[in-house]
A and B are shown apart, each in its own frame.
Chain A
Amino acid sequence: MSEKLKYNYLYDNEEDWFEEKTPPKKSVDDRQPDEPRKKKPGMTSEELWKWSIFTACLLMGIMIALLFKTYKKEGEVATIYGQRKDLAEMVKYLQTERNRLQTDLAKARDIIKNYESKASSGSNQLSALAEQLNLVRQEAGLTAVKGPGIMITLDDSPRKPGPTDDPNFYIVHDIDLMALVNELWASGAEAISINDQRVVMNTAIRCVGPTITVNTVRLTPPYIVKAIGPSSDLETGLRYTGGFLDSMAPNIDRGVKIKIEKVNEIKISEFKGSLVNRYAKTYKP
């Protein structure tokens, strides 16, 4: 009786005990005191499950963080529109500042001329020098000039481009103005102005969105280009085959207006900007 109770936990039922079959398998925990604890090779299914889910959640956490970073960056880009408003205001402020400086510059130049005329009124040498100085000023574009020449008016097309048309053919570009000015210089122009902005040696004609900037002043169409020089030469220079008008033919076909007229006396205003050389220094080669 006591033996049955002693071994009851090993066998499922009494019959097995009586038949003395092979003893039941030992479980992992059922070991002799001096046997080292044996670990099953590899991970248990439970551990594997936990580690798989852990790794997968880790990966997903990384992905979530990366996605959030990406979307946060997109949000930051959107605030560029807020920055643009500040930039537009800064541009306005700088333009008023520039206009004020130009008036100051004109006043300073007047004062200098005043001194020069006073200083040169007595002496012959000085007055010759002053005359030379004035001539150089005129040639540099710092004085208002008048004379015979031509006037060219360019305007954007009033028509709207169709769905398949290239909208570039319907407007006047900075490159068109540049080509025109180039042609005029080559044909003998001595003074050129675009919408009353004198074109001098450091004048840049650039596209800024829908407007064109000349001497950092924004101009809108229609663009009135005045040139003083031999009128017929100037006009021929524009009209010859393969010249400026021919290159503008696709634009003209789509309605861009270009008008050329000879004028007996054109008045061109002076250059209001600064021609100061800070890097270039005179030297004798």
Chain B
Amino acid sequence: MWIVGAILIGIIIGVILPINIPMAYAKYVSVSLLAGMDSVLGAFRAGMKHKFNFMIFSSGFIVNALLAAFLTLLGDRLGVDLYIAAIVVFGGRIFQNLTMIRRYLIIGKSAESEEGEKE
């Protein structure tokens, strides 16, 4: 719906924008993007259950993105692939949130329990 529209508008703006991310920083932006995706999906799920809290979402979005980028940077400096932790955690949470959204859409308002069986 409007989410797809938002992403498309964002892509168009990004293509037009003359800013370029230096190659060295592209990795950090990618990991922050992953954290952002998880935040958005979490917000979507919370909103469907009318439990959305703007402060939690916005602070989580920014903090998670920064932390993910910082973890990647630290891993680069230490020589250990610390970004894998961010990928595993945020990727896992993306799938969790997606599952809950899917269940909510299919079963409806009765699927309130977050600990319900995840398929």
Interface residues of A (CB under 8 A from B): 45-46, 48-50, 52-71, 73-74
Minimum CB distance partner of B43 in chain A: A53
Task: Report the bound CA distance from A63 to B37 in whole Å.
Answer: 11
Annotate B30-73 by CB proximity to A: 1 below 8 A, 0 otherwise: 10110011011001101100101010011001000000000000
Residue from A49, A60, A67, A69 whose CB has the most chain B CB atoms within 10 Å:
A60
Does residue B26 face the partner (Cβ distance < 8 Å to A)?
yes
B interface SS class: helix
- CB-CB under 8 A from A55, the residues of chain B are 6
CB <8 Å contact, B26 and A52: no
A interface SS class: helix
Task: Report the bound CA distance from A59 to B57 in whole Å.
Answer: 14
Does residue B89 face the partner (Cβ distance < 8 Å to A)?
no
CB <8 Å contact, A66 and B29: yes
- CB-CB under 8 A from B2, the residues of chain A are 50, 54
Contact count A vs B, C-beta below 8 Å: 108
Task: Report the bound CA distance from A67 to B21 in whole Å.
Answer: 7
A11 to chain B, nearest CB (A): 27
CB <8 Å contact, B52 and A57: no
- CB-CB under 8 A from B11, the residues of chain A are 61-62, 64-65
Does residue B3 face the partner (Cβ distance < 8 Å to A)?
yes
Interface residues of B (CB under 8 A from A): 2-3, 6-15, 17, 19-23, 26, 29-30, 32-33, 36-37, 39-40, 43-44, 46-47, 50, 52, 54, 57-58, 61
Task: Report the bound CA distance from A53 to B58 in whole Å.
Answer: 10
- CB-CB under 8 A from B21, the residues of chain A are 66-67, 69-70
CB <8 Å contact, B3 and A57: yes
CB <8 Å contact, B52 and A45: yes
A44 to chain B, nearest CB (A): 11
A56 to chain B, nearest CB (A): 5
- CB-CB under 8 A from A62, the residues of chain B are 10-11, 13-14, 17
A42 to chain B, nearest CB (A): 11
B100 to chain A, nearest CB (A): 16
Contact of B57 among A52, A65, A68, A69 (CB under 8 A): A52
- CB-CB under 8 A from B9, the residues of chain A are 58, 61
Task: Report the bound CA distance from A221 to B104 in whole Å.
Answer: 76
- CB-CB under 8 A from A45, the residues of chain B are 50, 52
B23 to chain A, nearest CB (A): 6
